[in-house]
Amino acid sequence: MRLNKCFSVISSIVLAGPVAAWVDRAHPFGRPPPPEDHQLATAGADGPSREATFQQLIDHKNPGLGTFSQRYWYNAQYYAGPGSPIVLNAPGESDASDFYTTNATLPGMFGKTNGAAVIVVEHRYWGESSPYKNLSTTNLQYLTLDNAIQDLIYFAKNVELPFDVNGTSKPDKAPWVLTGCSYSGALSAWIYRLAPGTFWAYHCSSAVVEAISDFWQYNQPIAEAMPKNCTKDMQKAIKHIDGVLSNGTAEAQHSLKKRFGLEAITHNDDFGQALIGGLQGWQGTMFYQKSRPNPLYQFCDYIENVFPDKKNRTIPGPEGVGTCKALNGFAKWSREVMIPGSCAKYGYWKDNNTVACYDMNNKDNPYYHDLSVNNTINRQWTWFTCNEPFEWWQVSSPDDTTGLVSKFLDVNYNYMQCRNYFPREGNHTFGLDAGRTSAQVNRKTGGWNVGNTTRLMWVNGEYDPWKPATVSADARPGGPLQSTPDAPVWVIPKAAHCNDVLTKNADANPEVRKIVDDILATMKKWVGEYYVGKDHPSNA
């Protein structure tokens, strides 16, 4: 192992200022947050959105168990009156907000262009919509895909909307549009397949319909989006790192980790997990953010030894800078960008430079023991991945062709975390522990095999890391789903995750604008078809 030789030439460049690039562990994917300069319509008297609550069943298979209060927001600004459409935004895996009812988003634009009210429901067990305050293994048993699906059906059929007191826009009297992106996009598609009949039309953006255990494919689109020199050099760096961890002396391994600022991390799988942070910053890329540094490209500038003085340095060609310089840049990024504040921001540690949060082998890690609904690590989503189980572990695999992830990061590492998060309580445990698999999820939902659909649209990003789990995946049997009039498919060029959802992306990119315009026109046509032959003010 040529470790010492590689690190002896480490650059002495000093950062001009702090840079935020480390992915948020609590939100591994999901719909994009509001733009920083967006003034939210408040839920008060001065804004178009209003907050309300609905009594939702704790368990749809056992109504006698009782109900809990589920929050929702509605915007009736463009509601055209009795019998007009409803746009329901399927809930995502986080505390909800009224932002997705406004015309700064595609759901809001569906409302504006169809004379519809827009509603967003908060997902059970998140925000202020949890049946239990303590998220123990026992209390989490009712956080299931089945209940999440039935929540929306039950809500649509039973909610008494303040702007529709006579129930003229119930789903049997008016078209309801179900929309979502990422998990909520998949939820929308699964409702079409598993509980059809309530919703009239569907919009599924970046919908992760195929559950995958060893989801090494997550990094394929990232590799395609990366500069070629960066891809090549990171592959060399990871190969070298794995060599040291496999065959190096204890001293060499400690020295390697110390260069990355991670000498306190003794387990190689924890170290391997930390190394993928630079890649994970890509999925949140938005076209409207061109003026700010892109986390992935900034990471690559470190790998290629050109940060921060990029203008005055020669940019390496596609051959890259080689193993030694790439390792030095990688280590520098880890120390100066990834580590500072990455643990402290979750509120469990005060030391801004601690790396204790990366020690997931430690059963005393505070992540495992915060059972509150508003925990900062998104315990609820981890339950979904371990229990349903969706899995989607972003790991290495014998089939991995990217070479961007350490071989020490595998599915067993994630299974270990499931056991630490959700210890067995009597007869209650999580799905993986009970023998369930992601393959069973796909047999239930259909996974990539979505069948023949009507009035259901798909939107994906060319470089979305989650595209390999969508209908546009290259590995999908028969190839990526082809577009039809009843089931149109749009793939946004060079886009990442959920890039059609924020209208600012359409304002910033003409290709997104064209696709969004097509989406809106298609949805307007479908909504209009509901009213053909019916006595209702024209919405077509």
**Which residues are known catalytic residues?**
182, 464
Pick from 157, 176, 175, 177: which is nearest to 167 by CA?
A: 157
CA dihedral (366, 370, 375, 381) positive or negative: positive
Beta carbons within 8 Å of 409's beta carbon, 6+ residues apart: 269, 272, 273, 275, 276, 395, 396
Percent of the chain as helix, strand, coil, to the nearest 5:
35, 10, 50
Find how far residue 438's CA is from the centre of its chain.
18
Distance CA 344, CA 329 (A): 24
Identify whether the C-beta of residue 296 lies closer than 8 Å to the C-beta of residue 225: yes
Helix axes 411-421, 379-387, angle to 10 degrees: 120
Placement of tokens 């129930």 in the chain: 167
Nearest to 40 by CA among 91, 103, 93, 89: 103
Q: Provide the strand spans (E) within 14-48.
A: none
Angle at 398 between CA 394 and CA 399, to 5 degrees: 75
Q: What is the DSSP letter of 105?
A: B
